[in-house]
Amino acid sequence: MKWLIACWGIYFCLFTATNGTAQTTAVPQKLFQFSATELSPGLFHISWKNPYKKTIQLAVQRSADSIRNFRTILSAQNPALEINGFTDHTAPHDIPVFYRIFLTLEGGNYFFTPVLRAQKAIAQPEVSKPVLAELPNAVSETKGKTTVVKKAALSIPKPAATEIKKDSIVPPKIVVPANPFLNKKPSRYVYTDAKGYLNISLPKVAMNQYKLIIYDTDGSRLFTIEHIREPELIVEKVNFLHSGWFNFELFENGLLMEQNRFYIQ
């Protein structure tokens, strides 16, 4: 009987130790956050917050049944960015859509996020919109939380009556190296998505005032977006004169927040 009690005691200790180790093992995907929002039929916005600085691959996958038939629709060019996202323009219109994200970390570790079904955007109360220059064919369309500026709906500076020195409005010349990200990390606030659209993401827009000035590579001022009030803003490619690199200055409450660049295909 004593021998039997001793065996049960040893088994209980081993069982407790094993369970304790399993409970303290971190589950990586619980730290990764992402959302999928239906902006309109066939148009979905996927965004994520990635705490893993050593991510070497990040792929967004889509399925119509949430269990199988997932296929990759985007491989992030900069997978280690903490905050990023893109707009899916190729999803079907008449069936449910599910998303998940696949991550690979340095050392070979990898995981899939839980599957999310895209949720419709919640309508926001109307707020006063910035005054835009009255230009022909100006079109501005709001879809859920995302505003799409289609053509010329931007405040473009008018020629001044007095002469303004060029150096007073042009940022320092930026020499584009062979590797365009050699000296600058990609912006988490102003970036282009897989379709080539310019995305402006400002999570704290409700608490601060933002202004974005966009320059051509020769230093000339292209246009300004005053008083940005939407947390997610998409500017279509038609607003740019050509493909290539563009510089920008982002201001928060009147102070320079970031100087960087983006590429329009």
Q: What does the pLDDT read at residue 174?
A: 57
| Closest residue by Cα to residue 113 from 76, 39, 69, 62 | 62
Q: What does the pLDDT read at residue 155?
A: 59
Q: From first to last of the 265 residues of the chain, give the pLDDT tens digit.
A: 545 544 444 444 433 333 333 333 334 566 889 899 888 888 899 999 999 999 999 999 999 888 888 999 999 888 988 899 888 988 888 888 999 999 999 988 988 999 999 888 776 555 555 544 444 454 556 666 566 666 555 656 666 666 666 555 666 665 544 433 345 678 889 988 888 888 999 888 889 999 999 988 787 888 888 888 888 888 888 778 788 888 899 999 989 888 888 888 8
Q: Please state, in angstroms and rounded to a whole number, the distance separating the CA atoms of residues 139 and 132.
A: 11
Instruction: List the end-to-end C-alpha distance of the chain, in Å, as a whole number.
Output: 80
Using DSSP's 3-state secondary structure scheme, residue 256 falls into strand
Burial (CB < 10 A; 0-12, 13-18, 19+), residue 263, is middle
pTM score: 0.39
Q: What does the pLDDT read at residue 181?
A: 33
Query: Using an 8 Å Cβ cutoff, are 81 and 201 in contact?
Result: no
| Closest residue by Cα to residue 262 from 184, 210, 172 | 184
Q: What does the pLDDT read at residue 59?
A: 93
Q: Please state, in angstroms and rounded to a whole number, the distance separating the CA atoms of residues 119 and 72.
A: 20
Q: What does the pLDDT read at residue 21?
A: 34
Contacts with 203 (C-beta within 8 Å, 6 or more apart), sequence order: 83, 231
> What are the structural domains of the chain?
28-120 (2.60.40.10), 139-264 (2.60.40.10)
